[in-house]
Structure 1
Amino acid sequence: MSTFPSIDSELLRTFVAIADHGGFTRAAEVVNRTQSAVSMQMKRLEEDVLERALFERDGRQVRLTPEGQVLLGYARRILRLQGEVFNTFRQPHMVGAVRIGTPDDYVMRFLPEILSRFAQAYPLVQVEVHCEPSSQLLTRNDLDLTIVTREPGTEIGQLLRQEPFVWMAAEGFCPQDQRPLPLAMFNTTCFCRAWACNALEAMDLDYRIAYSSPSLSALFAVASAGLAVTAQLRSLLTGNLRIIGEEEGLPVLPNASIVLLRGNRMTPVTDKLAEYIVEGFRA
């Protein structure tokens, strides 16, 4: 059976630091080594371990070669998996259950990747997800972590991200030809619905709530069928919808804030999942 030389994780960690920070000098500060030590590490990685050039050097500028780009993907995966192994076996207290509250919107867009990574690192933790509108989640006191949408200036908890609401419609849908304009919106307790209606009224545009639902997938299904326009966070855009706006005579919508609230019963498990949520929403 053929054997391959092992790759020291410290070499990969330094390599990733160089790629992330654009040079050997800054990477040396990040990994707490001298610049000469970093240079020796990369010389060993290039010449002794992989026998491939990983960097293109132009004066002080450093760029990854095509081989370096390939290694970067593997290096990130290896270091992430290594961290997850140590987390799993060095922290036996990471067991238990976490109750998350979130609107339906974010379950589709953000939670799959977040929960997948968390499950790989902490397979013994049970995660219970409760999907409700933000207005209802704010009234609950039985959740450990709660993700809600807030209007600018009313943020509470930890800000995860801010982004604009946008109008979305199917390809070929022409809002100028639709009067009153049919809307597919969340139920009446959603302030986003009020934003959309107020913006249309300010421009004296006739509209009607043609479809309403607490389910984002239902609203997208209606919009994708060309039956109505919807207004949602830009990051929730799906491939069968397009963003429309001022060019089609529609008003600009404001930004919204996504925030994370922590419950009264914080544990190491809850804290760790909160870290994954913050990272996932800011990625």
Structure 2
Amino acid sequence: MAHYPVIDSELLRSFVAIADHGGFTRAAEALNRTQSAISMQMKRLEDDVLERPLFQKDGRQLSLTAEGQLLLGYARRILKLQGEVLNSLRAPHMVGSVRVGTPDDYVMRFLPEVLSRFAQAYPMVQVEMHCEPSYQLLQRKDLDLTIVTRQPGQEIGQLLRQEQIVWAQAAGFDLHRSDVLPLAMFNADCFCREWACNALDTMGRDYRVAYTSPSLSAIMAVVGAGLALTAQLQSLIPAHMRIVGKEEGLPDMPSASIVLLRNPQTRSPITECLAEHIAEGFRL
């Protein structure tokens, strides 16, 4: 049986860092190592272990050779598996499931990065997502962690962030093309919709709620098509849309609070750890 040299995981970690950061210098900074140390590691990996070149220079740019591209996929898988083994053996209690409730608003904006980092750290935990409006989530008793939007002064649980509600429209949308302003909003129980309607009523601006949906993506599709205006948390507005306000004759809107609720009946190391990841993700 042939014997092959063992690939040190630290060599693979440095190799992946170089590929991800585009060079030795940035990789060394990310790993808190010196550039010479990283260079020596790669020389050892190329010359002594694999006997293949992994990098090539194109002017000032550093890129991977065909062998380097092949190794990169294996290196990521090896490091991921190593992390899973260590987490499973060192923290065997971190095995199970956790039920998270959140409005549709935050799923695409905040949770992908949160869940990705949590899955890397605790691969044996199953996360069950329940997407419903805040007022429905507040009535449920079967969830472990719940993310909801609250009005200022009515915060409960852990405050994740406060955000301004803003008006948003498609780039080519003309606010003044109609005497009655068309709105695309969440369904009737959304306080953001209530605030928007009350603010327009107060200033005497005629409007109609032309489109409703419990889905933020559906609302943004309507707004992006230039069919209506909406009012949402500022971080939820896509880059291709235009935020408008007093300059266009629209009323100021208040801020809202995003909070995290813990179920006291189901608190565990798993739920507390995910809660920490959620809190960190919403701070970014």
**TM (normalized to structure 1)?**
0.72
Amino acid in the other structure paired with 1:217: S
Amino acid in the other structure paired with 1:206: D
SS in 2 for 1:106: helix
Does the 8 Å CA contact 1:145/1:260 hold for their aligned counterparts? Answer: yes
How does 1:111-126 map onto structure 2 within 5 Å?
Answer: 111-126=111-126
Amino acid in the other structure paired with 2:123: P
Give 1:279's aligned residue.
Answer: 280
Structure 2 Cα separation of the partners of residues 46 and 128 of structure 1: 43
Does the 8 Å CA contact 2:157/2:260 hold for their aligned counterparts? Answer: yes
Note if 1:217 corresponds to 2:217: yes
User: Could you list the per-position Cα deviations for residues 64-85 of structure 1 after superposition, in whole angstroms to 9, with x for gaps in the alignment?
Assistant: xxxxxxxxxxxxx9xx989877
Taking a change above 3 Å as real, the CA distance of residues 86 and 178 of structure 1, as seen in their structure-2 partners, is farther
How does 1:134-213 map onto structure 2 within 5 Å?
Answer: 134-213=134-213
Taking a change above 3 Å as real, the CA distance of residues 133 and 49 of structure 1, as seen in their structure-2 partners, is closer
Give 1:251's aligned residue.
Answer: 251
Shift of 1:277: 0.3
SS in 1 for 2:210: strand
**TM (normalized to structure 2)?**
0.72
Q: Any stretches of 5+ residues in structure 2 without a counterpart?
A: 18-25, 41-75
Stretch moving more, 177-186 or 254-263? 177-186
Note if 1:234 corresponds to 2:229: no
Structure 2 Cα separation of the partners of residues 49 and 240 of structure 1: 41
Shift of 1:178: 2.5
User: Could you list the per-position Cα deviations for residues 14-48 of structure 1 after superposition, in whole angstroms to 9, with x for gaps in the alignment?
Assistant: xx9xx89xxxxxxxxxxxxxxxxxxxx97xx2555
- Cα RMSD (Å) of the superposition? 3.1
Shift of 1:177: 2.3
Amino acid in the other structure paired with 2:228: A
Give 1:133's aligned residue.
Answer: 133
Structure 2 Cα separation of the partners of residues 178 and 86 of structure 1: 62
Structure 1 Cα separation of the partners of residues 214 and 235 of structure 2: 18
Does the 8 Å CA contact 1:165/1:231 hold for their aligned counterparts? Answer: yes
Does the 8 Å CA contact 2:83/2:120 hold for their aligned counterparts? Answer: no
Structure 2 Cα separation of the partners of residues 48 and 273 of structure 1: 35
Give 1:263's aligned residue.
Answer: 263
Structure 2 Cα separation of the partners of residues 117 and 48 of structure 1: 28
Give 1:100's aligned residue.
Answer: 100
Shift of 1:176: 2.3
Shift of 1:201: 1.1
